[in-house]
Structure 1
Amino acid sequence: MGGLRSLWWRRAAEHHNAQQTRMWAEYQSRGYGEQQTTVRPRRRPRTEPQDPVLFGVLMALAIGVACVLTLEPTTCPYGAKQLLAAREPWQTANSTTPPRWADLNATIQNGFTRCGKYANDTDLFVDDSNEGAGTTYGYAREDVEALVERAQAVVEKRQYGSRPNDAHFLEALVGHVANGSSVLVVGSAEPWHEAVCLALGASRVTTVDYGSRKYEHPQLDQVNASFWNQLDDANLGYDVVVSASSLDHDGLGRYGDPIAPDGDLLTMRLLLRALAPGAKVILSVPVGPDRIIWNLMRIYGKDRLARLTDGYDVVEKE
């Protein structure tokens, strides 16, 4: 095998040198000499052949070459896999209100960005906390029942709307919320997903949110943030957990919630204690290069998404 690889590389080098000679001859024939005064730093000459087939063969032969890394312990205390467990209320004039990025100390900022590993945008600022008083949403029973009726029509006709994300999310609900299911919804401003779950036959749907929610329906329950402190004492066991673009702003203070660089990760760990055997978590988050958009949301890239789903197996992905 070594002789075959040497032969291919020798042919590749000869091919490359012949092409470079032809290119230089053409370059001189057009009157260009060494008068060029603007130069770029010289790059290492290409060693791969220009023939794409030959190059593909050479790359295939190279597969399996070991990668050698030289490492040292990180100086960033937030670079390792451990969670930053603190959830700190933000106090301003005796009320909890969202802080601006500049109001955070360097330790908390480094926790959010993993010492600069995640990009950070600070041009936006959102206060959905009702100036620290907390958000309140209420739906009368007739409004909830109207949503359930609408959800039944959507599910029966499989008309999920024009936005792919909405369609994928509803398809996941249809696939996993069965008759008699107990469902937990994490984060909600309108009981739409709750209504879909009821339309699919869920026996009971509980909504947990930092704000105040009052959905008047005998099969809907609403709980506040104290729910997370009662998991060990409660006999829970949800069959399905639903979180639609809610964890990405957990811990950013936008809704008056406590500041927590790993608030999203902490919530996912807590959910493990609320699941029945065989339960499914239906989760949607914005994806892209790892980034914080303070204080609107997080964008989940390779590093953050892996941290978010640690402890879970991904069984479906859209």
Structure 2
Amino acid sequence: MLRCAPLFLLAAACASAAAVTGDAVYRRDPWTLHDPGFPVEVDVAPSHDELWAVEHAEPLEAGADGVLRVSSSVLDVTVVLPDGVDTDDALVTMSLFEPSSSGEGDGTATTPSFEMSVDSQLQYVRQYRVELDPSTAGERFVLRVYVEASASRQNGTEAEEGGARLRAFYVRWVDLSPSEPRFLVCEQQQEAVHDASDATDGDEEEEEEDEEARVAVHPPANMPPGLCRRYTMDGRVPVRKWYFDDQTDADRSYGEEYSLEIIETLVEDARKHMVGYSATDAFLHEALKKYPLAGKHVLVVGSRGLPWIESLCLSQEAASCTTVARNRLIYDHPKLQTFTTAEFEDANAGRGSGKRFDVVFAVTTLASEGLGRTGDLLDPDADLKAMRELRDLSTPLCAEGKKEIMETTTVFLSVPVGPDTLVWNAQRHYGPLRLPLLLQDWELLDSFGFQKSDFTAPFTVNHLPLFVLQPSSSCAQEPTDSNESEGHAEL
């Protein structure tokens, strides 16, 4: 007789399995149902996260809700078939179900309602890489893995010897959200990584100092222990896990081309003061009323692909808009120009040799600098270095013997503000420790949405105010060997 798992989330799978395979269905664990002789093993874990595997090695405690809590937008789904199964014709179907508005969907309802958001049938391989939509953070969904294969076991049952189709279901709630913040003892982190890696031949400590070793095929799932003190400001900044892999292909292209028609639609939305494209939209609209862009040459630093900031510039009748991003962008619009970071650095090699910009936008992207998220080099101070580069770009050289000085560039900066937190590898949250460092050598002209009470909010709370900045000096001397900073913005 068919026996369903006590967790209600398997109820639908039980019914489906009964309809397809009859009553002879077995349960391998609380989340897996299978035909007799087909005990498929399915394991789901954050991608390339050895520490997570160690921390979650303990069996499920009695009374636990069984929800798989992951702080990663990329999962590794491992499917292990039993011996005697023909892997060549095995198929794996992965489906994601989201609680619909008509159902409770909170894990307590007897008959919740779901809507399928993803359904993909794949040829069998041992491990699959599943990329999730991070916009669903804080929400639960159901992951279903359905496996079907032909038996090829000799001296087995008649059905097995005849190559019968065997089936298995894995169904489980997944909670996709950042982990709770915790203060790290960096020495303990070093020990934990050594325990997890287990067979690294002791080379990691040497590699930590190797700049090239800080670039990986996939962004590191965990902060390198050798950089722990610098990333956490000597342990004063707590760490949360929220993992992304925004690397692109060998051509460093985001892969999506934005046509003239799409961009013009975005421009029209910008003219209507639409919000929802970014978390700082309302502040941007408010700031641009006070600091219009008409006739100005604009530089946008960093991008996640969608040309929303660029569309705001076009809606304001900016003379031109240039975007610099780590990866290649494809914007089909006569007033938009794009560069990769490497191309822009080549074009602007030498102090004062590059094009001058009236306005620079650095909205939301700077907070992830140096965390490896986009394939960038791991560097605990990359955000501070980026601000120094912006200052150099924004400050004209003093013209010797001339009183007339070029107008200083205005910078619109938006970073997550709240209690100081490192959210690995998504971004930093800037509080009373790091925000003053970020803004040193800048004059704060204005701010939109910023208030000091944000610093004392819970660690899980932050928002994106907008700062309007100019370099604290009206012009810059030729570069010297000194890197000391003297001024800072008053918050």
TM-score (norm 2): 0.42
**Paired residue for 1:126?**
244
The aligned residue for residue 214 of structure 2 is: 90
SS at match of 1:222: strand
- 1:172 alignment partner, one of 278, 287, 307: 287
Shift of 1:185: 0.8
| Bigger share in helix | 1
Paired with 2:355 and 2:301, the residues of 1 have a C-alpha distance of 15
Change (3 A) 1:241 1:220: same
CA distance in 1 between counterparts of 2:299 and 2:368 reads 18
* 2:273 pairs with 1:149: no
Q: Deviations over 1:19-43 (max 9, x none)?
A: xxxxxxxxxxxxxxxxxxxxxxxxx
Conserved? CA contact 1:141–1:217, under 8 Å: yes
CA contact (8 A) 2:238 2:421 kept: yes
**3-state SS, counterpart of residue 425 of structure 2:** coil
Q: Once the 2 structures are TM-superposed, how far is the Cα of residue 230 of structure 1 from its aligned partner?
A: 4.8
Partner residue of 1:279 out of 397, 405, 409: 409
SS in 2 for 1:306: helix
Cα pair 2:301 2:361 within 8 Å, conserved? yes
Are residues 1:201 and 2:345 paired?
A: no
Larger displacement relative to structure 2 (170-179 or 306-315): 170-179
Look up the equivalent residue of 1:254 and give its one-letter code: R
Alignment of 1:112 onto 2:228: no
Per-residue CA deviation, residues 66-102 of structure 1 (Å, 9 max, x unaligned), is xxxxxxxxxxxxxxxxxxxx9766344xx4x311225
TM-score by length of 1: 0.64
Change (3 A) 1:239 1:303: same
| Equivalent residues of 1:252, 1:261 under 8 A apart | yes
Residue 213 in structure 1 maps to residue 343 in structure 2: no
SS at match of 1:313: strand
Q: Which of 219, 222, 243 is the matching residue for 1:101?
A: 222
Q: 1 or 2, which has the higher strand percentage?
A: 2
Conserved 8 A contact 1:139-1:214: yes
Q: Secondary structure at the match of 2:358?
A: strand
Gaps of 5+ in 2: 1-209, 397-406, 449-491
Letter in 1 for 2:263: V
Of the three residues 297, 300, 307, the one matched with 1:182 is: 297
Q: Within the alignment, does 1:306 sit opposite 2:436 as a pair?
A: yes
SS at match of 2:447: coil
Match of 1:24 in 2: none
**Higher-Rg member (1/2):** 1
Shift of 1:135: 5.0
Q: Is the 8 A contact 1:186 1:242 kept in 2?
A: yes
SS of 2:408 mapped into structure 1? strand
Q: Alignment length, in residue pairs? A: 223
Structure 2 partner of 1:20: none
The one-letter code matched in structure 1 to 2:381 is D
CA 1:126–1:161 in 2, change beyond 3 Å: closer, same or farther?
Answer: closer
Return the alpha-carbon distance in structure 2 between the equivalents of residues 205 and 89 of structure 1: 35
Please tell me whether residue 237 in structure 1 is matched to residue 356 in structure 2.
yes
Query: Equivalents in 1 of 2:279, 2:349: separation in Å?
Result: 37
Higher relative contact order (CA closer than 8 Å, sequence separation 6+): 1
Indicate the larger mover: 251-260 or 274-283: 274-283
- After superposition, give the CA deviation of every residue in 1:204-235 in whole Å (9 maximum; x if it has no partner): 10111112111111110111111246544332
